[in-house]
Amino acid sequence: MHENEWGARRGSDRRPTLVVVAGTRPEAIKLAPVVRALDLRPELRSLVVNSGQHVGAVRATFAEFGLRCDLELPELPPLPNLAASCDHLRVELRAAVARFRPDIVLVQGDTLTTYAAACAARDEGVRVAHIEAGLRTNSVNHPFPEEWFRRRIAGIASIHFAPSAQAAHNLRDEGIAGSAIYMVGNTGIDSLCAQLKQLNGHRPPDAPRCGVLVTLHRRENYDRHADTVCRALLRIVELRPDHRVVFPVHPNPRVAARIRGRLAGRSGIELVAPMAYGDFIRAAAGAALIISDSGGIQEEAAHLGTPLLVPRCNTERPEALATGFVRLVRNDEDTIVNAALETLDAPRRDALPFDEHAPYGAGSAAHAIVAKCSALLSVGVPA
């Protein structure tokens, strides 16, 4: 339903209303199954809002899932710092929440949009449901700003959808009432499960063979840390020339300029534009190794059967480490190179199935989330 139609009908339609807010590509990937599940619930109204943080990426990602946003806010302008960007998004999102008067605002993860939307909903007295709640590292402020956002969103949300038992435990340890926490799994696994079914297997025979697939985008890996990863990649392709590196470069100019300046035109390394979700999953399934600081890929690696090195000092996803497919590596050139060579020389393991033992659920998180929201709204449970 689009904004003008919504405005015309909202006065007569008394169904409970949910607003889903997305601002980045990973959010869109993880919220797409939720939007689909909401569409199957005639007792609910739903509105999808593109916050404007990465407006084109959100639009394109939802389109890949056959979805589109009901309201697209203006693109986030260049601002001097994170606080100014947050204030801008908060004002824009508060206006949207005030206009549509939802019963629940659904936010996902740990991005600037997630925090700004949670604040905007609170400003308007609307309850917040946090999807992927309870992820924690061993440091209150690291990585910044993701860990900072996660912990503050927990203090705002009244409904907490935890992706794992550990995440639920973290929330209880912080004083969140157990009655407000629902362990549902991770909606990113819903998207991955559906995508792999389309590809008819975990490692499609025609998947692109890239050897080493690399992504880098987190603030902790800006500047000299990006340089370290680039130097490590140059050594890896020198020592393993049969393993071509494919590197989808994040659009952030601070990251992109650094990477292109050090790797563009180098033998064995292909810098490419950010991939569509389906293309990325095909490449990841066919890779011998992934090197990435992404959180979502940590959840996906075991189901792809592809080993992953994470150049970070900590992770909010210990369940991924426990699978044996994911390994934290210090952002140090020798450490990354040695870990990569060791992994490339090791035998390939079978991918983990999507079942009741899967660390982030079997691919039904979105339906559990929507069912719980529907139940809470239908009986008027305060949240």
**Residue 98 in tokens:** 């005030």
Tell me whether residue 160 is one of the annotated catalytic residues: no
User: For the stretch 273-302, what's the b/e string if a residue is b when 16 or more beta carbons lie within 10 angstroms of its beta carbon?
Assistant: ebbebeebbbbbbbbbbbbbbbbbbbbbbb
Rounded to whole angstroms, how far apart are CA atoms 351 and 300?
Answer: 10
27, 70, 132, 300: the catalytic one is 132
295-304 vs 187-198: helix crossing angle, rounded to 10: 40
Tell me whether residue 110 is one of the annotated catalytic residues: yes
Of 344, 308, 305, nearest to 326 (Cα)? 308
Is residue 109 packed enough to be buried (19+ CB in 10 Å), middle (13-18) or exposed (0-12)?
buried
Tell me whether residue 238 is one of the annotated catalytic residues: no
Neighbours of 5 (CB within 10 A): 10
Rounded to whole angstroms, how far apart are CA atoms 114 and 371?
Answer: 22
184 within 8 A of 109, measured Cβ to Cβ? no
**Residue 185 in tokens:** 């799994």
Query: CA of 118: how far to CAs of 107, 173, 375, in Å?
Result: 7, 21, 21
41, 151, 250, 327: the catalytic one is 250
Of 187, 163, 219, 168, nearest to 38 (Cα)? 187
122, 136, 150, 217: the catalytic one is 217
Tell me whether residue 225 is one of the annotated catalytic residues: no
70, 146, 299, 300: the catalytic one is 146
Rounded to whole angstroms, how far apart are CA atoms 353 and 361?
Answer: 10
169, 219, 260, 327: the catalytic one is 219
133 within 8 A of 165, measured Cβ to Cβ? no
27, 92, 110, 293: the catalytic one is 110
CA atoms within 13 A on the CB side of 326: 28
Tell me whether residue 152 is one of the annotated catalytic residues: no
Active site residue ranges = 110, 132, 146, 217, 219, 250
